[in-house]
Chains A and B, each alone.
Chain A
Amino acid sequence: MSNVISVKELSKTYQRPLKLPGKQSYLKNWLHPVTEEFCAVKNIAFEVQEGERIAFIGPNGAGKSTTIKMLSGILYPTGGEASVLGLTPWKDRQKLGRSIGCVFGQKSQLWYHLPAGDTFNLLSYVYDLDRKEYQKRRDELVEIFSLKDILNQTVRKLSLGQRMRCELVASLLHRPKILFLDEPTIGLDVTAKAIIRDLIKERSTLEKTTIFLTSHDTGDMERVCDRVIVINHGEVLIDGNIGRLRKNFIKKKVVTLITKEEKVVMNMPGVVQIQWEPHRTVYEVDLNLQAVDLVISESLKISSLRDITVEDPPMEEIVRGIYKGDARGDL
Chain B
Amino acid sequence: MATYKYLKFFQVAFKQSMSYRGATYGRFVFYGVILFIFSRLWLVVGNKITGELSATDMVWYLSFTELIVLSTPLLHMDIEEDIRSGNIAYLFIRPTNYIFKLFSEGMGQFCARMLVLLLAGFLFPLLFTGKLPSHPLALAVFPPLALMAGGLYILIQICVGLSAFWLQDSSPVQWVTQKFLFILGGMILPLSMYPMWAQKLANLTPFPAMLALPATGALLLDGSLLLNVVGKLILWFVLLSLLALGIFRQCEKNLSINGG
Contacts and interface: CB of A to CB of B under 8 A. Distances in A.
A122 B16 contact: no
A75 B255 CA distance: 7
Chain A interface size, under 10 / 10 to 19 / 20 to 34 / 35 or more: 20 to 34
A93 B93 contact: yes
Contacts, number: 78
A114 B93 contact: no
Given A75-B256, A128-B2, A108 B93 contact: no
Given A125-B5, A125-B8, A126-B5, A106 B93 contact: no
Interface centre among B86, B93, B95, B259 (most CB of A within 10 A): B93
B8 A106 contact: no
Contacts of A65: 257, 260
Interface residues of B, number: 27
Contacts of A98: 95
Interface in A93-110: 93-98, 100, 102, 104, 106-109
B93 A97 contact: yes
A174 to B, nearest CB: 9
Given A75-B256, A113-B16, A94 B87 contact: no
A102 B93 contact: yes
A128 B95 contact: yes
Contact of A72 (B87, B93, B253): B93
Contacts of B260: 65, 106, 182
A107 B255 contact: no
A111 B17 CA distance: 13
Nearest to B97: A94
Contact of B16 (A94, A106, A114): A114
Contacts of A46: none
A106 B256 CA distance: 16
B85 interface: yes
Contact of B12 (A95, A106, A122, A127): A122
A100 B8 contact: no
A7 B116 CA distance: 54
A107 B89 CA distance: 9
A14 interface: yes
Contacts of A96: 93
Interface in A132-162: none
Given A100-B93, A128-B95, A106 B259 contact: yes
A286 to B, nearest CB: 36
B95 A95 contact: yes
- Tell me which of A108, A109, A125 has the highest count of chain B C-beta atoms within 10 A of its own C-beta: A125
Contacts of B16: 111, 113-114
Nearest to B13: A111
B155 to A, nearest CB: 21
A104 B253 contact: no
Contact of B95 (A76, A97, A104, A109): A97
Interface string A56-81: 00000000010001001111100000
B90 A126 contact: no
Q: Which of A74, A104, A118 has the most CB of B within 10 A?
A: A74
A113 B257 CA distance: 23
A122 B8 contact: yes
A107 B95 contact: no
Contact of B93 (A73, A118, A121, A125): A73
Interface in B66-103: 85-87, 89-90, 92-97
Contacts of A111: 12, 16
Given A69-B89, A94-B95, A74 B257 contact: yes
Nearest to B12: A122
Contacts of B12: 111, 114, 118, 122
Q: What 8 pairs across the A-B complex have the smallest Cβ distances?
A: A109-B90, A125-B5, A65-B260, A125-B8, A97-B95, A94-B95, A97-B93, A74-B92
Given A94-B95, A108-B90, 4 more contacts: A65-B257, A75-B256, A76-B253, A104-B86
6 contacts: A106-B259, A107-B85, A107-B89, A109-B87, A128-B5, A182-B260
